[in-house]
Amino acid sequence: MTLKSILLASLASAGLVAADGLNARAQAAGKKYFGTEISTTVMADSSANNIAKNSQDFGQVTCENEMKFDATEPSRGVFSYTNADKIVAQAQASGQIMRCHALVWHSQVPTWLKNGGFDNATMISIMKNHIANVVGHYKGKCYAWDVVNEALNEDGSYRTTDSVWYSAIGPAYIPIAFAAAAAADPAAKLYYNDYNIEKSGSKATGVQNLVKLVKSYGAPIHGVGMQAHLTTGQVGAASQYVSNMQAYVNLGVEVAYTELDIQTPSSSPNFAQQATDFATMVSACKQVSACVGITTWGFTDKYTWISNSYPLIWDTSLQKKAAYNAILNAWSGTAASTTTSSAAAATSTAASGGGSGCTAAKYVQCGGQGYTGCTNCVAGTTCQATNNYYSQCV
Ligand SMILES: *[C@@H]1O[C@H](CO)[C@@H](O)[C@H](O)[C@H]1NC(C)=O
């Protein structure tokens, strides 16, 4: 930190200058957060960690690996929370909310599980026990959970033989996981999370079908997380992201970009185009009222998971790149983009026939901060608040 930034930070915390940053601008635009993934490796680098802890830039945190199955249940029935607890404690001390990630995934499962040869009933009980323990441990501390991660192939069909869960349980593992998470923390927003689902196409349609599947079993699902691992120069126009989000939102879920990074080769990076592409994704989220926020998968090129690439907002020397100001400006917008934003919100309401002019089905959202969909509940159900952000027909 420079002397100037220390001084500004102190003045900001004393309320003497206006606070500003990626998260401050996102919240001023009506979003819940702009956030980042971090790891215990980043926490051990104090210069990087000082950036991570600044809630003006990051109002939300996701653990890179620390909450995954292999980290939290390395041996059957033996749970380990030391590293994830460190991240959660720092986030809480810094005034940052947690998106918790991830409960049921085909990857990063421990050997005892992968090679266990367990039958259907045993796999269901292992999955339920894992969810009850992990979600129970963090009850009240996770704004959202990624309950099921990457269950789909690129053509929108379910991953079958490469998933230990599907192999033993079949597609029922998905609603069973959501029901178990809801039982363990009824206030957490429960998300399905995947990549290559940011634009319409077979896989995005597969996600819509998955949301319907979960609901058809009577289990709750509150959000679709679009990972958004993108490539500089291939992002294109915001409108295609907006319309794809609307298709999810029309099913009664909120949406978020959960792992945004925009790769550009370290051998010949194009940071100007990258800045434009980050701004496009911010603009897309800004135009959809049910897009609650954006999480980047790390914030500095020093710790990206992508080899030979500079996909993030701070460079390898922890200096801000062009993307930083582009994101600020995209959130703060202009009169023209504010108009677009409210027009898009109105379109969203009209497209879903929102407000009191339509009826939400059982287990579908019917209210909550920022919600613009149907507020009447189907006969035999009433609209009940789960938390400030979510009411459901039950
Ligand atoms: C496993 O059991 C569950 C719960 O009884 C059931 O819904 C599912 O269809 C079963 N899966 C297979 C592959 O038999």
Query: 129-155, pLDDT tens digit by residue?
Result: 999 999 999 999 999 999 999 999 999
Q: Is residue 238 part of a domain?
A: yes
Per the rule left: phi > 0, alpha: psi between -120 and 50, beta: everything else, 333 is: left
Tell me, yes or no, whether 282 and 364 share the same domain. no
Ligand 1 neighbourhood includes 169 CB (under 6 angstroms): yes
Tell me, yes or no, whether 362 and 282 share the same domain. no
Q: Is residue 12 part of a domain?
A: no
Tell me, yes or no, whether 312 and 358 share the same domain. no
Tell me, yes or no, whether 84 and 133 share the same domain. yes
Tell me, yes or no, whether 56 and 115 share the same domain. yes
Residue nearest to ligand 1 atom 5, measured at CA: 121
**Looking at beta carbons, which pairs linking 79-85 to residues 24 or more positions away fall under 8 Å?**
79/133, 79/134, 79/137, 81/137, 83/40, 84/138
Q: Is residue 4 part of a domain?
A: no
With both helix axes pointing from N to C terminus, report the angle between 173-184 and 202-216 in degrees, rounded to the nearest 10.
60
Q: Is residue 5 part of a domain?
A: no
Residue nearest to ligand 1 atom 1, measured at CA: 169
Tell me the CA–centroid distance for residue 113 and ligand 1, in Å.
18
Tell me, yes or no, whether 349 and 252 share the same domain. no
Tell me, yes or no, whether 259 and 372 share the same domain. no
Tell me, yes or no, whether 215 and 170 share the same domain. yes
**Residue 266: per-residue pLDDT:** 98
Give dist(CA 44, CA 66) in Å, integer. 14
Q: Determine the structural domain holding residue 359 and report its residue range.
A: 343-393
Q: Which of 298, 331, 364 is the last residue of a domain?
A: 331
Give dist(CA 136, CA 44) in Å, integer. 27
Q: Which two tokens stand for residue 369?
A: 């901060």
Q: Is residue 351 part of a domain?
A: yes
Residue nearest to ligand 1 atom 14, measured at CA: 169
CATH code of the domain covering residue 114: 3.20.20.80
The DSSP bridge pattern shows strands 97-104 and 142-149 to be: parallel
Tell me, yes or no, whether 103 and 214 share the same domain. yes
Asked if 228 contacts 238 with a C-beta cutoff of 8 angstroms, the reply is no
**Residue 384: per-residue pLDDT:** 83
Residue numbers annotated as active site? 150, 259
Euclidean distance between the first and the last CA atom of the chain, given in angstroms as a whole number: 51
Q: Which two tokens stand for residue 252?
A: 């009664």
Query: Within a 13 Å sphere around the CA of 251, how many CA atoms are in the beta-carbon half?
Result: 24
Measured in whole angstroms, the distance separating CA 16 from the mean position of its chain's CA atoms is 33
Q: Is residue 3 part of a domain?
A: no
Tell me, yes or no, whether 347 and 312 share the same domain. no
Ligand 1 atom nearest residue 169's Cα: 11
pLDDT tens, position by position, for the chain (394 residues)?
455 555 555 555 555 556 799 999 999 999 999 999 999 999 999 999 999 999 999 999 999 999 999 999 999 999 999 999 999 999 999 999 999 999 999 999 999 999 999 999 999 999 999 999 999 999 999 999 999 999 999 999 999 999 999 999 999 999 999 999 999 999 999 999 999 999 999 999 999 999 999 999 999 999 999 999 999 999 999 999 999 999 999 999 999 999 999 999 999 999 999 999 999 999 999 999 999 999 999 999 999 999 999 999 999 999 999 999 999 999 995 322 333 333 333 333 333 334 556 677 776 767 776 666 678 887 888 888 766 667 777 8
Tell me, yes or no, whether 145 and 270 share the same domain. yes
Tell me the CA–centroid distance for residue 357 and ligand 1, in Å.
39
**Residue 1: per-residue pLDDT:** 47
Residue indicated by tokens 């069909």:
157
Ligand 1 neighbourhood includes 95 CB (under 6 angstroms): no
Q: Is residue 196 part of a domain?
A: yes
Q: Is residue 336 part of a domain?
A: no
> How many structural domains are present in the chain?
2
Tell me, yes or no, whether 283 and 172 share the same domain. yes
Asked if 9 contacts 16 with a C-beta cutoff of 8 angstroms, the reply is no
Query: 48-66, pLDDT tens digit by residue?
Result: 999 999 999 999 999 999 9
Asked if 276 contacts 239 with a C-beta cutoff of 8 angstroms, the reply is no
Q: Which of 291, 309, 331 is the last residue of a domain?
A: 331
